[in-house]
Structure 1
Amino acid sequence: MLPPLRTIRDGLRRTTEALAVELAAARPGSATPAWSALEWRLAAAAATAHGVSPLLSTCSTWQNAEWQRFLASQREHVAQRHQRIASLLQRIDAGAAAAGVAVVALKGSALHALGLYAAGERPMADIDLLVREHDAEAIVGLLKDLGYVESFAQWKHRVFKPAAGQPVAGLGDHRDTPVNIELHTHIQERLPISTVEITGRIFPREPRPGINAYPSNGALMSHLLLHAAGNICGRSLRLLHLNDIARLSARMQASDWNVLWCEHAVDPPWWALPPLLLVARYYRQAIPDAVLDRLRTDCPVLLRTCSRHQTLTQVSLSGLLLQALPGIEWSRSMREAGRYIRHRLRPTAEANQERADMLRTQLWLQGQDWVARPQGRRILTWLTRPVPRMDMLYAVRAALERPAPAPEQTDFSPYPKPAP
Structure 2
Amino acid sequence: MFFEHTGPYALPTDYTPRRPEHFYVRRIVLAKGARTTQERRNYIAKIIALYPEAEIIEKPDTPHNRIAPNHKNLASRLRLGKQTLVFGEHKSAVRFSNEASNICPNYWHFSPYGFCFYGCTYCYLSGTRTFVFSPAVKVFVNLDEILEAIDRQAYKQGRVCAFYLGKLQDGLALDPLCGTSRVLAPFFAAHPFARMTLLTKSADVDNLLDLDHQGHTILSWSVNPPEIHDRFERNVPHPEQRLQAMQRCAKAGYPVRAVLMPIIPVEGWEEIYGRFLRELLLSVPLQRLTIGGICTYPDAKRLMEESIGEDNLISQSIHSTTMCQADHRARFSKELRIKLYGALLDAAREVRPDLDVALCLEEEEVLNKVGLSASQGRCNCPF
Q: TM-score, normalised by structure 1?
A: 0.27
Question: Which is higher, the Rg of structure 1 or of structure 2?
Answer: 1
Structure ranking higher in helix proportion? 1
Pick 1 or 2: higher relative contact order, CA cutoff 8 A, min separation 6: 1
